[in-house]
């Protein structure tokens, strides 16, 4: 069956982040703008734009470092100001000249570093 929907036919459904601080990580995800779908002691689910779900999974010990995903926002500077106001200590905004965008990072409570990018969507429906 042919669709007239102009959006791409696939999307990222789920990304997973393991945490040893479920309550704090869940609070952080709400603070950065994710929509809570389910909060539990072992699994919590947060919705992002486009319907992608972040699945927080409790784990006794986690290996920290860069998160396996990054985030994109419409207004990087407004988002940065909001995270500063919330006491989340984002890094300074820096240019990524090779890709023509700007970025900053913020560390979530379990220790994962999440990168925020300025928007680079195509302008087509997504």
The pLDDT tens digits of the residues spanning 44-90 come to: 999 999 899 999 999 999 999 999 999 999 999 999 999 999 999 99
The pLDDT value recorded for residue 120 is 82
Yes or no: say if 36 and 46 are a contact pair by the CB < 8 Å rule: yes
Is domain 14-118 classified as CATH 3.40.50.2000? no
The pLDDT tens digits of the residues spanning 12-39 come to: 999 999 999 999 999 999 999 999 999 9
Question: In whole angstroms, what is the distance from residue 106 CA to residue 89 CA?
Answer: 7
| pLDDT exceeds cutoff 60 at 1 | no
Contacts of 97 (CB under 8 A, 6+ apart): none
Question: In whole angstroms, what is the distance from residue 13 CA to residue 5 CA?
Answer: 18
Q: Where are the alpha helices (DSSP H) in the chain?
A: 22-31, 76-85
**DSSP class of residue 86?**
T
Q: Where are the domains of the chain?
A: 14-118
The pLDDT value recorded for residue 74 is 92
| pLDDT exceeds cutoff 80 at 5 | yes
| pLDDT exceeds cutoff 80 at 3 | no
Question: In whole angstroms, what is the distance from residue 79 CA to residue 57 CA?
Answer: 26
The pLDDT value recorded for residue 95 is 96
């Amino acid at each position: 069956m042919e669709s007239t929907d102009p959006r791409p036919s696939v999307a990222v459904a789920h990304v997973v982040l393991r945490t040893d601080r479920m309550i704090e990580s869940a609070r952080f995800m709400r603070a950065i703008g994710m929509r809570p779908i389910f909060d539990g002691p072992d699994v919590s689910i947060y919705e992002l734009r486009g319907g992608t779900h972040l699945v927080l999974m409790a784990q006794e010990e986690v290996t920290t470092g860069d998160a396996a995903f990054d985030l994109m926002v419409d207004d990087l500077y407004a988002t940065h100001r909001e995270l500063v106001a919330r006491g989340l200590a984002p890094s300074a905004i820096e240019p990524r000249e090779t890709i023509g965008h700007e970025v900053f990072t913020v560390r979530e409570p379990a220790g994962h570093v999440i990168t925020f990018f300025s928007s680079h969507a195509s302008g087509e429906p997504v």
